[in-house]
Amino acid sequence: MEPQFKDIADHALLVTFANEISEEAHAQVIALDTALAGDMPAGVIETVPALVNLLVSFDPLVTDHSTVTAHVCKHLEGLDAKSVTGVRRTVQVCYEGQLAPDLEAVATATGLTPEAVINAHLAGDFNVLMYGFAPGYAYLSGVPQDIQVPRKPKPVRDVPAGSVIIAGPQCLITTLTMPTGWSIIGRSPTSVLTGDPDHPFLFDVGDRVAFERIDAATFERMNKDKADG
């Protein structure tokens, strides 16, 4: 569909590319976000990419909806969604024992062995779609169809940071200890929160993520190294 524009209060513009999630729509979101980053008009504070739309926030004392819309339309002309490719990131994950409390349940639900679930997850083509819910919570698409399972009926409390969780076609690496209804199939020692105020998260929206399997001993060593600073 043609991009749709919606004024948000007096300080933002929402540009929507589709009514349903698709790779094509998300590629357009990333392409527009990249184009605006290279030509940010006066008064625009930030752009926030999501699954099928882009929020453009601005200072209403400096600019207005019509000016921002005109600037966005200029970049939509000839927008090449295929020209933007994200960085490929690697995330280590251990699928053993208490670090993967739902692995057996996912295997049972999908009719696979636990090892087959792990291999399917490692083979996934993961793309960072958006951030949301909590700091550093990067929603990844690309969970293979064979291991897609629904959310649990009730969330589980006190899920540790670093848990690798899946629900439907999406995957996420938790950054805080908090409840989740997603299935926990592993844990990662990789830090998603960087501590760098200029680039606070490991991923940018549009990046690709590859998971790399490690054993429990390697997980413990990497976790200790991270804790030691």
pLDDT value at residue 80: 80
pLDDT digits (tens, 9 = 90+) for 32-63: 999 999 999 899 999 999 989 999 999 999 99
Q: What is the pTM of this model?
A: 0.85
Please name which of 4, 211, 15 lies closest in space to residue 120, comparing C-alpha atoms: 211
* pLDDT score recorded for residue 228: 74
Share of the chain above pLDDT 70, in %: 99
CA 20 to each of CA 23, 25, 26, 124: distance values in angstroms, whole numbers, following the listed order: 10, 8, 10, 22
> 19: which 2 tokens?
């009514």
Please enumerate in sequence order all residues whose Cβ is within 8 A of that of 149, keeping only pairs 6 or more positions apart, or say none. 106, 109, 110, 166, 167, 168, 183
Where in the chain are the domains?
A: 4-83, 88-227
Asked if the domains at 4-83 and 88-227 fall in one CATH topology, the answer is no
Instruction: Give the per-residue pLDDT at 1.
Output: 76
One pLDDT digit (tens) per residue for the chain, 229 residues: 789 999 999 999 999 999 988 888 999 999 999 999 999 989 999 999 998 999 999 999 999 999 999 999 999 988 887 766 788 999 999 999 999 999 999 999 999 999 999 999 999 989 999 998 889 999 999 999 999 999 999 999 999 999 999 999 999 999 999 999 999 999 999 999 998 998 999 999 989 999 999 999 999 999 888 877 6
pLDDT given at position 84? 66
Which pLDDT does position 83 carry in this prediction?
Answer: 64
Q: 4-83 domain in CATH 3.40.630.40?
A: no
C-alpha to C-alpha distance for 113 and 209, rounded to whole angstroms: 24
Locate all alpha helices (DSSP H) within 77-198, ordered by sequence: 103-110, 114-122
Q: CATH assignment of 88-227?
A: 2.40.100.10
Token pair recorded at residue 122: 């490692």
At 172 the pLDDT is: 96
Could you tell me where the beta strands, DSSP code E, fall in 1-125? 4-8, 12-16, 44-49, 53-58, 88-93
